[in-house]
Amino acid sequence: QKEVEQNSGPLSVPEGAIASLNCTYSDRGSQSFFWYRQYSGKSPELIMFIYSNGDKEDGRFTAQLNKASQYVSLLIRDSQPSDSATYLCAAPPSGGSYIPTFGRGTSLIVHP
């Protein structure tokens, strides 16, 4: 059974710091990963996806994928209080299924 593991946190960082959110996965066949942000009381919002090994940058966000180590991370530079949310890592469907596998999410708190 495919699994995606995340530390539930909370991860607390000061404003302006780099927040590092991590995710490990069990299915070596997974080719891509997605990061969602979920504010309290709201539904998840897709913020990043990464298909290949290495880094992918989008503004203050950098997604990193290491397929050999089965590890994916999300770095948030210059963290802001508005970044405080739960971040969900997701592996895509496989084997003809449309169902993705979500991690439990990591709660991030950016304090002023």
Partner 1 sequence: GAVVSQHPSWVICKSGTSVKIECRSLDFQATTMFWYRQFPKQSLMLMATSNEGSKATYEQGVEKDKFLINHASLTLSTLTVTSAHPEDSSFYICSAPPSGRAKDTQYFGPGTRLTVL
Confirm or reject binding of residue 2 to partner 1 (CB under 8 A). no
DSSP assignment string, the chain: ---EE-----EEEETTSPEEEEEEES-TT---EEEEEE-TTS--EEEEEE-SSEEEEETTEEEEEETTTTEEEEEESS--GGG-EEEEEEEPP-TT----EE---EEEEEE-
Confirm or reject binding of residue 59 to partner 1 (CB under 8 A). no
Confirm or reject binding of residue 92 to partner 1 (CB under 8 A). yes
Confirm or reject binding of residue 104 to partner 1 (CB under 8 A). yes
**Least distance to partner 1, CB of residue 23, Å:** 13
Confirm or reject binding of residue 105 to partner 1 (CB under 8 A). yes
Name which of 14 and 93 has its Cβ closer to partner 1. Answer: 93
Q: Interface residues with partner 1 (CB under 8 A)?
A: 32, 34, 36, 41-46, 49, 88, 90, 92-93, 98-100, 102-105
